[in-house]
Amino acid sequence: MKFNDQSTLEELVEGCIRKDRLAQKYLYKQMYSSMFAVALRYSKDEDMATFILNNSFLKVFTKIESHNKEHSFYGWVKRIVINSALDEIRKNKKHSNQLQIEEIQEPALTENVLDKLKAEDLLKAIQTLPGLTNVVFNLYTIEGYKHHEIAKKLSIPEGTSKWHVSQGRKLLKKKLAYYLTETNRG
């Protein structure tokens, strides 16, 4: 079978199961932008995101037979990308913070800044969060993981996960307030 840009996801997956290089190429191409965006949320630059993405697709292609067809293929690949990013973070201990921090009440946002922002501006602001705060914030707010799941995945106390989310919200509130002040002046 010849694969191309019009091949369906199902056709490409079947081709990848048969180890067809052309199917792998077009599957990678078809999922690249959405999965690159996921990888970029967990890295500070595009080079690291590309590294994470390529490692992820290597895992996808070697384990594609284990995908349960009853579940979303997109979700399965996304989970692999997230786990690959977390593996890289664990390898680079300089990003981790092993402090035990007590639970902190999260501040409520006083104005609805999200309505005034573009999605790309918000994602850029999230990317500026420091190391582990960025990772925990993404896992909790964007991916929907619970604090106990994050704690287990990152080998940190649950209270530390909560602190990072709280800290991320505080930092984002400051950054976004500054952004809105500057854009309202212009």
User: CA–CA separation, 168 vs 125, rounded Å?
Assistant: 10
Residues 6+ apart with CB under 8 A from 82: 38, 42, 139, 143
CB 23 within 8 A of CB 16: yes
Q: What is the pLDDT of residue 108?
A: 40
pLDDT in tens, 49-104: 999 999 999 999 999 999 999 999 999 999 999 999 999 888 876 544 444 444 44
Work out the average pLDDT over 23-46: 93
Spell out the domain ranges in the chain: 9-91, 113-185
User: CA–CA separation, 21 vs 129, rounded Å?
Assistant: 38
pLDDT in tens, 140-181: 998 999 999 999 999 899 999 999 999 999 998 888 777 666
| CATH code for the part of the protein at 9-91 | 1.10.1740.10
Q: What is the pLDDT of residue 93?
A: 61
Split at pLDDT 50, 70, 90, the class of 182 is low
For 113-185, give the CATH class. mainly alpha
pLDDT in tens, 99-131: 444 444 443 444 444 455 566 777 788 888 988
pTM: 0.70
Go through the chain and tell me how many residues it has.
Answer: 186
Q: Has residue 47 got a pLDDT over 70?
A: yes
Q: How far apart are the first and last CA of the chain?
A: 55
User: CA–CA separation, 19 vs 64, rounded Å?
Assistant: 10
